[in-house]
Amino acid sequence: MKKVIHTSQAPNAVGPYSQAIEHNGHLFISGQIPIDPATGKIVEGGIKEQTEQVMKNIGAILKEAGYSYDHVVKSTCLLSDMDNFGAMNEVYARYYTTNPPARAAYGVVKLPLGVMVEIETIAMK
């Protein structure tokens, strides 16, 4: 049976979805955008600041579910501008220093609330 994961340390969903769902040792984290859960607002700054907040949000959800970044097996990164790929990658790499997960990165036309980056994550135990 699936288990809904929710933490106040990550932003509330901006639509009809859960922060994450756990099922049979798999954790599916919905796409996270750079909303600071303390303020409910998009963080100020550029792609590096936004990616940092996204990774913090992912970390809070992982922790709430009893997982860590070491459990992440797949990420999908969505960028509003592929020219930001290098800067996003620089921040992302700090969270996966050894044995990084599989990953895809796509440039998209537009992301929710006009943000620059959204990342969805799958983790396994």
Domain ranges across the chain:
3-124
Average pLDDT over the chain, rounded to an integer? 97
Query: Looking at domain 3-124, which CATH architecture does it have?
Result: 2-Layer Sandwich (3.30)
* Residue range 98-115: mean pLDDT, rounded: 97
What span, in angstroms and rounded, lies between the C-alpha atoms of 39 and 34?
11
Say if residue 2's pLDDT is above 90.
Answer: yes
Residue % of the chain over a pLDDT of 70: 100
Question: Binning pLDDT at 50, 70 and 90, where does residue 124 land?
Answer: very high
Q: Which two tokens stand for residue 125?
A: 């135990």
* Residue range 52-81: mean pLDDT, rounded: 98
Say if residue 14's pLDDT is above 90.
Answer: no
What span, in angstroms and rounded, lies between the C-alpha atoms of 20 and 31?
9
Q: Which two tokens stand for residue 99?
A: 């044995």
Q: Which of 52, 56, 53, 51 is nearest to 117 (CA)?
A: 51
Is the pTM of the predicted complex or chain greater than 0.95?
Answer: yes
